[in-house]
C-alpha cells in the first residue's frame, strides 16, 4: 500500500476501485487517508502528467485562475506551473499559478516548496485542484468521479489536506474557497452509466448537452457551492 502523499500516514480506508472503466486490468484502488482525508490512487498511475496534459480544458482553467487572482493581486509577472514534477523559471514572480498541478505531482509538498522559493516577498501563489470533500465526490468518489480520469492524476485533496500541505511547504493560506463546476456531475454520471452498460440514448438523455441535464447539474453544484462543497478548490497562498 502507498503512503499518503500529503502526511505520509499508512492508515487509509478503501473507497472503491476505479481506472479505465472498460478495462479491469487498468483498475486502481481509491484510498482515503484517515489522517488528512486525501484521496489517492494505489498503485499510482505510471502515465506522466506535465505538458502532455495541456488541453483546451487546462487552458480554460488557467484563464479562470488568472481572473480569480487578478481581483486580489494584480500582476504582470506571472509564472504558470503546469508540469507536476518541476517548477521552471528563476523568479521572483508576483503570481505563481498551479492549475490542477498538485493532483499529479509525485511530491506535492516539494513542488509547492519550489514555487515558494520563486515567489516575490509580497507575491501570491494560486492553486486549483479537485475537491475530495465536494458533494460530487461524496456521491461518485468511490469509483466514478470524473477527476480520476485525467491522465497522471495521483491524488485529490480536501481543504484540510491542502492546508497541511501548505504548512509543510512553508506557505500560509490567505484565502480558500470552492468553485462551481457542474460538468463534474455530468461527467461522473456518464462514467456511472457507462460502467453499468447503459445505452447511448439513455446516456444522452441524462447527461447530454441539452437543457434538462445541464440545469439539474447546475442546481446540484450551486447547492454544493453554497455549502462550501463545490467540485473545485481554489486557494491563494502567501509566504508567512
Side-chain-facing half-sphere of 118: CA atoms under 13 Å? 22
**Peptide bond before 148: cis, by omega within 30 degrees of 0?**
no
Question: Is the pLDDT reported for residue 71 higher than 80?
Answer: no
Q: Is the dihedral of CA 6, 54, 26, 135 positive or negative?
A: positive
Specify if 6 maps to a domain: no
Q: What is the pLDDT of residue 53?
A: 39
pLDDT tens digits, one per residue of 134-192:
999 999 999 999 988 777 789 999 999 999 999 999 999 999 999 999 999 999 999 99
Specify if 111 maps to a domain: yes
Which helix H or strand E contains 201, and what residues bound it? helix 200-207
Q: Give the whole-angstrom CA distance, residue 19 versus residue 1.
A: 17
Question: Is the pLDDT reported for residue 121 higher than 80?
Answer: yes
93: containing domain:
12-238
The count of structural domains within the chain is: 1
pLDDT tens digits, one per residue of 190-239:
999 988 999 999 999 999 999 999 999 999 999 999 999 999 999 999 98
Q: What is the pLDDT of residue 149?
A: 78
Specify if 60 maps to a domain: yes
Q: Give the whole-angstrom CA distance, residue 147 versus residue 156.
A: 8
Specify if 4 maps to a domain: no
Question: Is the pLDDT reported for residue 82 higher than 90?
Answer: no
Q: What is the pLDDT of residue 95?
A: 86
Specify if 2 maps to a domain: no
Say which CATH number the domain at 131 has: 3.40.50
Specify if 7 maps to a domain: no
The helix-helix angle for 200-207 and 183-195 (nearest 10°) equals 160
pTM above 0.75, yes or no: yes
Specify if 86 maps to a domain: yes
- At a CB cut-off of 8 Å and minimum separation 6, what does 154 contact? 5, 40, 41, 44, 45, 103, 104, 105, 106
Specify if 1 maps to a domain: no
Is residue 34 within 8 Å of residue 11, measured between CB atoms? yes
| SS3 state at 126 | strand
pLDDT tens digits, one per residue of 103-116:
989 899 999 999 99
Amino acid at each position: 500500500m502507498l503512503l499518503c502523499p500529503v502526511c505520509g500516514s499508512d492508515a487509509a480506508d478503501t473507497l472503491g476501485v476505479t481506472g479505465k472503466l472498460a478495462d479491469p486490468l487498468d483498475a486502481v484502488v481509491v484510498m482515503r487517508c484517515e489522517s488528512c482525508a486525501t484521496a489517492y490512487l494505489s498503485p499510482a498511475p505510471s502515465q506522466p502528467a506535465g505538458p502532455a496534459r495541456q488541453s483546451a480544458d487546462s487552458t480554460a482553467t488557467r484563464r479562470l485562475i488568472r481572473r480569480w487572482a487578478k481581483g486580489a493581486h494584480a500582476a504582470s509577472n506571472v509564472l504558470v506551473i503546469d508540469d507536476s514534477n518541476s517548477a521552471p523559471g528563476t523568479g521572483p514572480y508576483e503570481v505563481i499559478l498551479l492549475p490542477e498541478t498538485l493532483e499529479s505531482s509525485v511530491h506535492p509538498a516539494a513542488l509547492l516548496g519550489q514555487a515558494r522559493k520563486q515567489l516575490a516577498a509580497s507575491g501570491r501563489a494560486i492553486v486549483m485542484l479537485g475537491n475530495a470533500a465536494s458533494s460530487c465526490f461524496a456521491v461518485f468518489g468511490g469509483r466514478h468521479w470524473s477527476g480520476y480520469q485525467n491522465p497522471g492524476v495521483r491524488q485529490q485533496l480536501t481543504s484540510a489536506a491542502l492546508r497541511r500541505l501548505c504548512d509543510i511547504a512553508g506557505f500560509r493560506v490567505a484565502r480558500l474557497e470552492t468553485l462551481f463546476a457542474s460538468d463534474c456531475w455530468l461527467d461522473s454520471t456518464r462514467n456511472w452509466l457507462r460502467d453499468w452498460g447503459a445505452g447511448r440514448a439513455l446516456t444522452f438523455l441524462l447527461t447530454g448537452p441539452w437543457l434538462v441535464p445541464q440545469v439539474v447539474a447546475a442546481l446540484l453544484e450551486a447547492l454544493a457551492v453554497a455549502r462550501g462543497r463545490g467540485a473545485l478548490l481554489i486557494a491563494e497562498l502567501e509566504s508567512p
